[in-house]
């Protein structure tokens, strides 16, 4: 069995995610998201999806990017 690096659960169905900085072991997608997904630069929510990236920051949506002062973004054309 393998131990989740976030919650410490020793689980027989754990999985690994390989990233540029090495491998990570998790017991759930929830733990993987907690560790690997970027946080919105405005509201702090974990960005699971495309998000909006501007000036080196990631935002969960255009509304948060606009609130942070990013111009010219929108969620839908």
**pLDDT given for residue 75 in this prediction:** 77
Contact 58, 38 (CB under 8 A): yes
Per domain, the residue ranges of the chain are 1-36, 38-77
Does residue 76 surpass a pLDDT of 90? no
Give the model confidence (pLDDT) of 16-33 as tens digits: 999 999 999 999 999 999
Give the model confidence (pLDDT) of 13-72 as tens digits: 999 999 999 999 999 999 999 999 999 999 999 999 989 999 999 999 999 999 999 998
Q: Which ranges constitute the DSSP H helices of the chain? A: 29-36, 62-67
Q: Tokens 């990233």 appear where? A: 19
- For the question of whether the overall pTM of this predicted structure is more than 0.85, the answer is no
Does residue 77 surpass a pLDDT of 90? no
Q: Is 8 exposed, middle or buried (0-12, 13-18, 19+ CB in 10 A)?
A: exposed
* 3, 45, 70 from 51: Cα distances, Å: 30, 11, 13
């Amino acid at each position: 069995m393998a131990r989740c690096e976030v919650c410490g659960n020793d689980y027989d169905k754990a999985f690994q995610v390989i990233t540029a900085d090495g491998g990570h072991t998790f017991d759930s997608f929830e733990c993987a998201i907690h560790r690997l997904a970027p946080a919105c630069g405005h509201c702090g929510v974990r960005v699971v999806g495309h998000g909006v990236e501007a000036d080196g920051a990631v935002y969960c949506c255009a509304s948060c990017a606009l609130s942070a002062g990013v111009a010219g973004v929108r969620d839908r054309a």
